[in-house]
Amino acid sequence: MGSGSGSELIFRGHETQPVNDEYSPKPNKPWLSVTRPIRYLLREQRLLFILIGVAIATVFFALLPSSPSSSSSSSYDPLPIPYLEQESTRWVQKARHMVGVHSVGKIPLGIKRKGLRIVVTGGAGFVGSHLVDRLIARGDSVIVVDNFFTGRKENVMHHFGNPRFELIRHDVVEPLLLEVDQIYHLACPASPVHYKFNPTNVVGTLNMLGLAKRVGARFLLTSTSEVYGDPLEHPQKETYWGNVNPIGVRSCYDEGKRTAETLTMDYHRGASVEVRIARIFNTYGPRMCLDDGRVVSNFVAQALRKEPLTVYGDGKQTRSFQYVSDLVEGLMRLMEGEHVGPFNLGNPGEFTMLELAKVVQETIDPDAKIEYRPNTEDDPHKRKPDISKAKEQLGWEPKVDLRKGLPLMVSDFRQRIFGDHKEGAQAAFA
Ligand SMILES: NC(=O)c1ccc[n+]([C@@H]2O[C@H](COP(=O)([O-])OP(=O)(O)OC[C@H]3O[C@@H](n4cnc5c(N)ncnc54)[C@H](O)[C@@H]3O)[C@@H](O)[C@H]2O)c1
């Protein structure tokens, strides 16, 4: 009976419950949604891994620069590039280039940079070929574009067979499409004997800027101290606007480079192309053209051939002479740094033409005669760079003085004038 009534009671109980076939969600327990992942993390030790990950990321980003800056910024970065050749530095610079951050900072240890693809227009010329040597040595892939107007295959043939080197015979006044990260634009009929109409400075520069815009490459223009003309300010600072005759015999070069600077800045401002401008002062060294009318190469070739050294005017006009390895270092620092420029790159040591002739006599032939000729039109009286901006913002200054650099050039010229061309082409840096 007792059990029967119990079952009855149970049954009744069921009967009294409403029958519900529908899905009823579990009761809401808000605390569960918080504690469940925590319990899961603790149980599986996932928390430990996450904390380690956060710590690694924090260390990584702490080593990268903290304040990104725009490429057009000209503010001073107190961190100079400590050593351009550091593989890891360049890897980080490349990464910054890709994300639009160009300030110089510390490098995560153990990270190796991938080589850049770089075009050097005019790379078979004097300065260009030395630049190519440095870029190849650094691990980059280099494409030289040159029409051999004044350049020579011999200047770069020691790279033939290197898979990271290519040589294209091409005139930059014609457009060209190449996938590259950086463009060093050196192509130009640069020596005084070629001061006549040539569209390279204008049309060639326009084409290379167009290429930079199209492929998103950084563009460096090698301008010249000639943009200061016959300067009324001495020494010349980058802020000086120059004193140039627009219709003189040298104007095609002076004004051509001034136009090239204008185009470069217009592409920078108007099309956001990353640009750099170097104003190069007289540079000398191995692989210079032998007879191109530049004063150092003239004097050296004349002294070696036992000809008189030709001095134009009274020989009191001054110039400064920079050894080519110093210039190449400056160009690379400028390209890798964050400042647009323009930057004067030159050696502030000032020499009159007669003093230069004396150094050449001391180095090659003390008996070399001097012959005076009438001065050329619009020849600048004084030329000396103020390089404080490059010192401060690029951490750069020349290291090789004339008495140290000239013998290196002389041995190259001697080999090219009197014999073995191959050795001359590979003459080493100081
Ligand atoms: N060396 C200096 O003292 C000095 C001074 C100021 C500026 N610069 C500038 O530096 C750059 C290099 O000068 P450099 O002394 O090596 O002269 P360079 O004559 O030895 O080199 C110029 C190179 O450009 C090439 N070139 C000329 N026109 C070209 C064209 N249309 N297409 C393709 N290639 C062309 C030439 O064949 C040559 O290889 C030039 O832009 C020059 O204006 C040089």
d(CA 192, CA 194): 5
pLDDT of 111: 57
- Packed helices 402-418 and 353-363: angle between N→C axes, nearest 10 degrees: 60
pLDDT of 11: 38
Supply the pTM of this predicted model: 0.74
d(CA 328, CA 186): 12
Best probe residue, ligand 1, of 119, 120, 127, 134 (max atoms within 8 Å of C-beta): 127
d(CA 55, CA 63): 13
- For residue 288, give the ligand 1 atom closest to its CA: 20
pLDDT of 96: 43
How crowded is residue 169: how many other Cβ atoms within 10 Å of its Cβ? 12
Backbone φ and ψ for 230, nearest 5 degrees, come out as -95, 95
pLDDT of 12: 39
pLDDT of 231: 87
pLDDT of 194: 66
- For residue 289, give the ligand 1 atom closest to its CA: 20
Residues with a catalytic annotation lie at 253
- Cβ of 190 closer than 6 Å to ligand 1, yes or no, is yes
Best probe residue, ligand 1, of 150, 154, 193, 300 (max atoms within 8 Å of C-beta): 150
pLDDT of 376: 74
**Rounded to the nearest whole angstrom, what is the distance from the C-alpha of residue 148 to the centroid of ligand 1?**
10
Instruction: Kindly list the distances between the CA atom of residue 139 and the CA atoms of 135, 154, 200, 219, 421, in Å, as whole numbers in the listed order.
Output: 7, 21, 29, 19, 27
d(CA 253, CA 259): 10
Are the C-beta atoms of residues 369 and 324 closer than 8 Å to each other? Answer: no
Nearest CA to ligand 1 atom 25: 122
- Cβ of 123 closer than 6 Å to ligand 1, yes or no, is no
- Cβ of 282 closer than 6 Å to ligand 1, yes or no, is yes
Instruction: Kindly list the distances between the CA atom of residue 169 and the CA atoms of 72, 132, 255, 422, in Å, as whole numbers in the listed order.
Output: 33, 16, 26, 21
Kindly list the averaged pLDDT for each block of 10 residues, start to end, along the chain of length 430: 37 41 52 62 67 75 44 31 35 43 42 84 97 97 96 96 97 95 94 72 96 97 93 92 89 92 97 97 92 86 92 88 96 96 94 91 89 78 90 96 91 85 41
Torsion angle, CA of 252/253/258/260, rounded to 10 degrees? 90
Are the C-beta atoms of residues 341 and 418 closer than 8 Å to each other? Answer: no
pLDDT of 169: 97
- Cβ of 278 closer than 6 Å to ligand 1, yes or no, is no
Nearest CA to ligand 1 atom 32: 171
Backbone φ and ψ for 71, nearest 5 degrees, come out as -65, -20
d(CA 278, CA 239): 13
